[in-house]
Chains A and B, each alone.
Chain A
Amino acid sequence: MDPHEKLYWPFAIPPVQTQTEEQKSQLRFLEAAHQQGYAPYMERVGHFGAASGTRGVQILVRGRKHWQVLMGTAKETILSAHLDNFRTAAEAVLGWLRGADAAEIVEQIRDHLVVTRATGCGFLLHQPAAATRST
């Protein structure tokens, strides 16, 4: 078994009565991304991803109540952020795929950043001229 094997939506899911709130949130992301043509997938180990044109996103599981979102292109990562719930992560990445500005996304997710010594201020925003890390 390859834990990083990608399962592209749609795929078989547990019965609704056994789904947790987080799983329902994940399903909403997969359905919304699929409807918009972003080819969403879930890796067997639990990470998610999708792409739209030149933009790509990943939602990486980093523990209980900790998800890391990555937004960028094949050339560079534009925004990396650590968030405390999947729903906010999903909204952020869907916004990026629809064409939203990364700085605007940061403002939308600020209240849900995971701020620790390891994550710094919780996000890293790459500006075209130089990388910016707020402190």
Chain B
Amino acid sequence: MQIVEGRLIGGESYRDFVLPGRSVPEVFSARLLNGSTTLEITWTASLGQGTLVNRLALVQKLAGGPGSFTRITGQASAEFRDVIQALDLDEAGQALGKGLGGKWGVALRPRPNSIPSTWDLVATRIGD
């Protein structure tokens, strides 16, 4: 996994945690703004729970260890909503706890005022 640092035109500096693919540019990328404890998964080619948790655990290690992020978000467009709604969110929270430590709650929420509609999958660290 690579760490790519950059700065956005709005002024925010960030680190992207990127896993290159073999035949595709990237199979996973996640962004952590400097000063933020929210990790945004910008892309994942796999929604496999084990794969995703392993990748997040690696991000956590590279980002500075447990506590480097306490919230994980991902914005999904309409065509992926059904796939995500089929996820067992309780199970996902437990898997995150095993992979990252702590207790995690996972929720799927429609993004307010999003045109067109999108959904946020949000995982929040709710305890140790």
Contacts and interface: CB of A to CB of B under 8 A. Distances in A.
Same complex? yes
Interface of A: 1-4, 7, 11-14, 19, 23, 26-27, 42, 44-47, 49, 51, 55-58, 60-66, 68, 70-74, 76-78, 80, 114, 116-118, 124
Contacts of B118: 58, 70
Contact of A70 (B40, B46, B77): B77
Interface stretch (B25-33, B49-57, B60-68, B96-104): B25-33
18 contacts: A3-B31, A3-B36, A3-B73, A12-B11, A19-B9, A23-B9, A27-B9, A46-B31, A56-B116, A58-B114, A58-B116, A63-B18, A64-B25, A66-B26, A66-B43, A73-B115, A73-B116, A78-B116
Majority secondary structure of chain A interface residues (helix, strand, loop or mixed) = loop
A45 B40 contact: yes
B70 interface: no
B38 interface: yes
Interface residues of B, number: 35
Interface string B65-107: 0000000010101110000000000000000000000000000
Contacts of A42: 8-10
Contacts of A7: 10
A80 B42 contact: no
A11 B31 CA distance: 22
Contact of A11 (B10, B14, B78): B10
B45 interface: yes
B46 to A, nearest CB: 8
B116 to A, nearest CB: 3
A50 B90 CA distance: 35
From B8, B36, B115, name the one whose CB has the most chain A CB atoms within 10 angstroms. B115
A118 B78 CA distance: 15
